[in-house]
Chain A
Amino acid sequence: QKEVEQNSGPLSVPEGAIASLNCTYSDRVSQSFFWYRQYSGKSPELIMSIYSNGDKEDGRFTAQLNKASQYVSLLIRDSQPSDSATYLCAVTMDSGAGSYQLTFGKGTKLSVIP
């Protein structure tokens, strides 16, 4: 069964620190990887997408991908209380007949302590 694994947390970091969120996936041929942020009671919001090995930076966010290890991570620098949310790792997996679907991890709850 194709899966995406995340630590559920909660992960607590002090304001200004770096938050590190990790994700592993089971489908070796996956090509697209995403991080979504979801506030309580709201729908997911796309933060980062990454498609090739290495790092991708966007503001305070850096996504890291290692396809050989089937591992993707998200670093949040200078964490702010407004970053407190659940972070969902999502991986595109082949659903058959040439179509793809997003498989989500269960999410890591991040709390940034002022």
Chain B
Amino acid sequence: GAVVSQHPSRVICKSGTSVKIECRSLDFQATTMFWYRQFPKQSLMLMATSNEGSKATYEQGVEKDKFLINHASLTLSTLTVTSAHPEDSSFYICSATRGSSYNEQFFGPGTRLTVL
């Protein structure tokens, strides 16, 4: 159990376009989902925490108008990178918890975004 999927796994887009990434918990209901970003040779950086039916909580320095997060159900959260630019190119990874955010997080396989 505790499988998290992400789609797409890889996306290449032109500068100025928007990209939507989906994160799904396949075999459990995720009370909380998290979105991370990882640049090459760096550790994971938390972007935002998302609870079903409420607004996401963004980390300091993350533009909420640029990175739109929607947590429509207990099994689905989406991250939309609006007006993407080359500096947004990164590895985006979601995770989900089964209980409180105190518990272990299960990660999706990640989405590699390349903005040309």
Contact = CB atoms under 8 A, between A and B. Distances in A.
Interface stretch (A13-21, A39-47, A72-80): A39-47
B107 A100 contact: no
Interface stretch (B11-19, B63-71, B78-86, B97-105): B97-105
Interface string B77-116: 0000000000000010100000011111111111010000
Interface residues of A, number: 23
Interface of B: 34, 42-44, 46, 49, 57, 91, 93, 100-110, 112
A101 B106 CA distance: 13
Contact of B105 (A31, A42, A95, A102): A102
A interface, over-half SS: strand
B44 A104 contact: yes
Scoring A36, A44, A99 by chain B CB atoms within 10 A of each residue's CB, the highest score goes to: A44
A88 interface: yes
15 contacts: A31-B102, A32-B103, A34-B105, A42-B110, A43-B91, A43-B93, A43-B108, A46-B106, A46-B107, A49-B104, A92-B101, A99-B49, A99-B57, A102-B105, A104-B43
Contact of A88 (B43, B102, B103, B112): B43
A106 interface: yes
